[in-house]
Amino acid sequence: MQNIQNTRNLTYYLKQHKLGIALYILTYLLAGACTVLQTIFLAKAVEQITIGLYADAIYSLLYVALFVAIKRINWYASGIIYQKSANKMMANMNQDLATQAFKFTSKTYAEHDTGTFLQRIVNDPQIVVNNLADMVDVITDILSAMVIIIYIATFNLYIALALFVIIFIGITIEKFRTKTKSKNKKFARKKNDKINSLTTEIIRSEKDIKSLGLEEKLSEVSKKYYQEYQTANYKLELVDMNFWASRNFIVEFFGIFTLILGVYFIDIGLLTVATFMVIYSNNNNLYNLIWGIGSISDMAVEIKVCTERMFALFNNEAYPCETFGEVHIEHVQGKIEFQHVKYTFVEYGMETTGEQNEDTKDHKQRKPISTNTVFEDLSFTIQPNTTVAFVGKSGSGKSTILNLMSKMYTVDSGKVLIDGIHINDFDKNSLRNAISLVNQFPYIFDMTIRENLLLAKKDATEEELNQAVRQSYLSEFVHSLRLGLDTRIGESGIKLSGGQKQRLAIARALLRNSSIIIFDESTSSLDNFAQGEIKKSIDALKGKSTIVIVAHRLSTIKNVDTIFFLDNGKIVDSGTFEELFNRNAQFKEMFIAENIS
């Protein structure tokens, strides 16, 4: 797959909004120029007053008023331009990053914390855009301060030399401060990502946490993560504060020295009192110049860290994306074949810590720390419009087959074919439309029941919606609600029971009317009555779609056409329920044990 990191960088977005950015910079520069002229004419007015040219001083002050008005108008215009351009730019970044996230493989998500994606997609674009705007503001202030300092320096050569020595010392300190802060900032952000991931998991699983009594344990984990972040952040802020304190002391000390020098020159007749007053009233520009350079450094660090994190998501080596072919089929028949499939689950670790490496380099240095070969040579065929089930002990590879079948995982070798076509050769729409997957723990969105269903088929009619609800045996529950299908069900479907979530997920799958429907332990959360209803629904689909079931309860698959019995990644037997029950002692033992328990 083409690495599209080359087409997604900060310049890419700046070019998209170059007109708005140019106008923003222009208005700010005009405001800055007015600030400089305002200062010069004000200084001129002070000098005119000291020598008795009061009429001339009034004219100078009128010019000051004019420059103030122009400055304020330009600042207001820049604010309007910023709000319009910045919001568009942030929206474009958010959208592109979110779209990229849809392309990641399941393995990519499994190998990274949730916080990694949340921070990069939601927060980092806003930080980048805000810092860019602030940078324009500060650069304008720096330019204004430099012009004013140069203007002051023209009064006396020795004062000019003193000012430039102070500026050189301040910039040197800022160079070292920025380098140190960049390193510490990246480390602190990594710790913050861990906090966000843990917090998200706690919020989503609060019921399980309470029911299992995990509050104290997770509180300890949270405390550990927060302490690690606080330690990293404390180091970041303390080191930075030490640099700032050193720089501020030097700048202020030499600033006072400059004033002392000015008094000396007045005494020996090389400087007028009016000129000294101008130097004194603008002495803070020296501090502002060094402070501005320091702020620019901070903003550059923030922008660098955030852009590296954001655009690393477009690096296919660090964050692998799904790949698809070009074969397009409107409707597949539903024949599935595994031919000599080998699949190994690989767990990755890091060679070095995040503290020692840049964020994007960490992922390039991943290395396998453990491997588990799930299948060595797996072959089987599922005929179109038949209903099959995969059973076996936990860890035998049942769910892995479904993930390979739906291209959530990719085989190491061998082939997975649908209608005789390699699964990797299908284009995205053909493959996704051909398969519907109902997971053991389906995700229900914070929408109404109707909106959740329409996600599966946006143009579904009312009759189609009602039919899907009936077939999934969800109609009794829906009719009991005051708003029916228009009832909002909360984040992650929190207002629904486990069985209701699964039935809603099944209704979504039925609404898609895919050629292949996969049920991964999809009745595990249902009581016996609800399980029986769903079983009827699945039975009603027999002959209309290829149905693949992974079942924990063997009693739910009595009527399937073929059962594949797995053991340690191998199909050790296959046949109807009666055939396996009569000839396979291990299968019979599993069924009896299930019914006794």
Query: Do 184 and 95 have their domain in common?
Result: yes
Query: Do 58 and 143 have their domain in common?
Result: yes
Q: Which pLDDT belongs to residue 494?
A: 62
Nearest to 75 by CA among 114, 28, 110: 28
Query: Do 392 and 262 have their domain in common?
Result: no
- Cβ partners under 8 Å of residue 157, min gap 6: none
Q: Which of 42-51, 126-135, 253-262, 352-361 has the highest mean pLDDT?
A: 126-135
Q: Which pLDDT belongs to residue 135?
A: 85
Which of 265-274, 521-530, 537-546 has the lowest average pLDDT? 521-530
Average pLDDT over residues 245-250: 75
> What span, in angstroms and rounded, lies between the C-alpha atoms of 345 and 340?
17
Residue 299 lies in a domain: yes
Q: Which pLDDT belongs to residue 5?
A: 44
Nearest to 519 by CA among 575, 441, 444: 441
> What span, in angstroms and rounded, lies between the C-alpha atoms of 550 and 524?
10
Residue 471 lies in a domain: yes
Q: Which pLDDT belongs to residue 277?
A: 74
Query: Do 409 and 307 have their domain in common?
Result: no
> What span, in angstroms and rounded, lies between the C-alpha atoms of 33 and 144?
7
Cβ atoms of 268 and 285 closer than 8 Å: no
Q: Is the predicted pLDDT of residue 68 greater than 70, yes or no?
A: yes
> What span, in angstroms and rounded, lies between the C-alpha atoms of 33 and 30?
5
Q: Which pLDDT belongs to residue 364?
A: 43
Query: Do 34 and 126 have their domain in common?
Result: yes
> What span, in angstroms and rounded, lies between the C-alpha atoms of 133 and 144?
17
CA distances (Å), origin 101, targets 14, 26, 269, 554: 22, 36, 71, 37
Query: Do 39 and 167 have their domain in common?
Result: yes
Query: Do 44 and 135 have their domain in common?
Result: yes
Q: How many domains, in total, are found in the chain?
A: 2
Q: Is the predicted pLDDT of residue 247 greater than 90, yes or no?
A: no
Which residue range forms the structural domain that includes residue 555?
384-413+424-596
Q: Which of 257, 285, 312 is the last residue of a domain?
A: 312
Token reading at 444: 């229900």
Q: Residue 594: what residue type?
A: E
Query: Do 206 and 299 have their domain in common?
Result: yes
Higher local confidence (pLDDT), 145 or 361: 145
Give the phi and the psi of residue 100 in degrees, each rounded to 5. Answer: -65, -35
- Residue 326 banded pLDDT, cuts 50, 70, 90: very high
**Is 253 strand, coil or helix?**
helix
Q: Which pLDDT belongs to residue 359?
A: 42
Q: Which of 312, 329, 361 is the last residue of a domain?
A: 312
Q: Is the predicted pLDDT of residue 553 greater than 50, yes or no?
A: yes
Which pLDDT tens digit goes with each residue over 189-200? 778 777 777 776
Query: Do 47 and 149 have their domain in common?
Result: yes
Residue 89 lies in a domain: yes
Residue 447 lies in a domain: yes
Q: Is the predicted pLDDT of residue 248 greater than 80, yes or no?
A: no
Q: Residue 386: what residue type?
A: T
Q: Which residues of 35-45 are buried (b: 16+ CB within 10 A; e: fewer)?
A: bbbbbbbbbbb
> What span, in angstroms and rounded, lies between the C-alpha atoms of 518 and 502?
13
Q: What is the CA radius of gyration of the chain?
A: 34
Query: Do 113 and 249 have their domain in common?
Result: yes
> What span, in angstroms and rounded, lies between the C-alpha atoms of 583 and 556?
20
Q: Which pLDDT belongs to residue 385?
A: 92
Q: Which of 291, 312, 333 is the last residue of a domain?
A: 312
Q: Which of 155-159, 271-275, 316-320, 389-393 has the highest mean pLDDT?
A: 389-393
Average pLDDT, the chain: 80
Query: Do 395 and 263 have their domain in common?
Result: no
Query: Do 275 and 406 have their domain in common?
Result: no
Which of 52-56, 516-520, 532-536 has the lowest average pLDDT? 532-536
CA atoms within 13 A on the CB side of 319: 23
In this structure, is the dihedral angle defined by the CA atoms of residues 71, 76, 82 and 84, taken in order, positive or negative?
A: negative
Nearest to 161 by CA among 265, 244, 292, 247: 265
Average pLDDT over residues 83-95: 87
Residue 226 lies in a domain: yes
User: CATH number, domain at 137?
Assistant: 1.20.1560.10
Residue 492 lies in a domain: yes
Residue 332 lies in a domain: no
Which of 71-80, 216-225, 360-369, 453-462 has the lowest average pLDDT? 360-369
Average pLDDT over residues 210-238: 76
SS3 per residue for 301-333 = HHHHHHHHHHHHCCCCCCCCECCCCCECCCCCC
Q: Which pLDDT belongs to residue 519?
A: 86
- Cβ partners under 8 Å of residue 262, min gap 6: 156, 159, 271, 276, 279, 280
- Cβ partners under 8 Å of residue 183, min gap 6: 355
Residue 418 lies in a domain: no
Which pLDDT tens digit goes with each residue over 388-444? 999 988 888 888 899 899 898 889 999 999 999 999 999 988 998 898 888 777 777
In this structure, is the dihedral angle defined by the CA atoms of residues 108, 109, 115 and 120, taken in order, positive or negative?
A: positive
> What span, in angstroms and rounded, lies between the C-alpha atoms of 49 and 524?
90
Higher local confidence (pLDDT), 433 or 111: 433
Token reading at 164: 């430039």
Question: What percent of the chain has a predicted confidence (pLDDT) above 70?
Answer: 86
User: CATH number, domain at 463?
Assistant: 3.40.50.300
